[in-house]
Amino acid sequence: MLQVKMIKSKIACKPPQVKTLEALGLRKINKVKIHEDNPVIRGMIYKVRHLVEVTES
Protein backbone atom coordinates (compact mmCIF):
# COMPACT_ATOMS: atom_id res chain seq x y z
CA MET A 1 0.00 0.00 0.00
CA LEU A 2 1.22 3.47 -0.89
CA GLN A 3 0.24 6.57 1.02
CA VAL A 4 0.29 9.56 -1.34
CA LYS A 5 0.16 13.10 0.05
CA MET A 6 -0.10 16.28 -2.04
CA ILE A 7 2.50 18.76 -0.78
CA LYS A 8 2.50 21.44 -3.50
CA SER A 9 -0.19 23.29 -5.40
CA LYS A 10 -1.33 22.31 -8.87
CA ILE A 11 -1.93 25.92 -9.96
CA ALA A 12 1.10 26.30 -12.27
CA CYS A 13 0.99 22.72 -13.55
CA LYS A 14 0.24 21.55 -17.05
CA PRO A 15 -3.24 20.07 -17.68
CA PRO A 16 -2.07 16.43 -17.89
CA GLN A 17 -0.45 16.76 -14.46
CA VAL A 18 -3.61 18.28 -12.99
CA LYS A 19 -5.66 15.39 -14.37
CA THR A 20 -3.17 12.90 -12.95
CA LEU A 21 -3.50 14.44 -9.48
CA GLU A 22 -7.28 14.29 -9.73
CA ALA A 23 -7.11 10.66 -10.88
CA LEU A 24 -5.04 9.90 -7.78
CA GLY A 25 -7.81 11.51 -5.70
CA LEU A 26 -5.74 14.51 -4.65
CA ARG A 27 -7.58 17.80 -4.88
CA LYS A 28 -6.21 19.88 -2.00
CA ILE A 29 -2.81 20.35 -0.39
CA ASN A 30 -2.05 18.02 2.57
CA LYS A 31 -4.74 15.54 1.54
CA VAL A 32 -3.70 11.88 1.75
CA LYS A 33 -4.94 8.93 -0.30
CA ILE A 34 -3.97 5.29 0.00
CA HIS A 35 -3.49 3.23 -3.16
CA GLU A 36 -2.47 -0.30 -4.00
CA ASP A 37 1.16 -0.64 -5.05
CA ASN A 38 1.04 -1.47 -8.78
CA PRO A 39 2.81 -0.21 -11.92
CA VAL A 40 -0.11 2.01 -12.98
CA ILE A 41 -0.14 3.96 -9.71
CA ARG A 42 3.67 4.11 -9.67
CA GLY A 43 3.61 5.66 -13.16
CA MET A 44 1.04 8.25 -12.11
CA ILE A 45 3.11 9.14 -9.04
CA TYR A 46 6.23 9.43 -11.20
CA LYS A 47 4.45 11.96 -13.44
CA VAL A 48 3.72 14.28 -10.49
CA ARG A 49 6.64 13.34 -8.24
CA HIS A 50 7.51 17.01 -7.64
CA LEU A 51 4.04 17.66 -6.16
CA VAL A 52 3.53 14.63 -3.94
CA GLU A 53 5.15 12.77 -1.07
CA VAL A 54 4.93 8.97 -0.98
CA THR A 55 5.34 6.61 1.95
CA GLU A 56 4.84 2.86 2.03
CA SER A 57 2.44 1.56 4.61
What domains lie within the chain, and their CATH numbers? 2-56 (3.30.1390.20)
Residue 2 to residues 17, 26, 57, Cα–Cα distance (Å): 19, 14, 6
57 — pLDDT class (breaks 50, 70, 90) = confident
- Angstrom distance (rounded) from CA 7 to CA 40: 21
Higher pLDDT, 57 or 25: 25
DSSP bridge partners of 3: 34, 55
Q: Given phi > 0 = left and psi -120 to 50 = alpha, else beta, which region is 50?
A: alpha
Residues 7-48 pLDDT 10s: 999 999 999 999 999 999 999 999 999 999 999 999 999 999
**Is the pTM of the predicted complex or chain greater than 0.85?**
yes
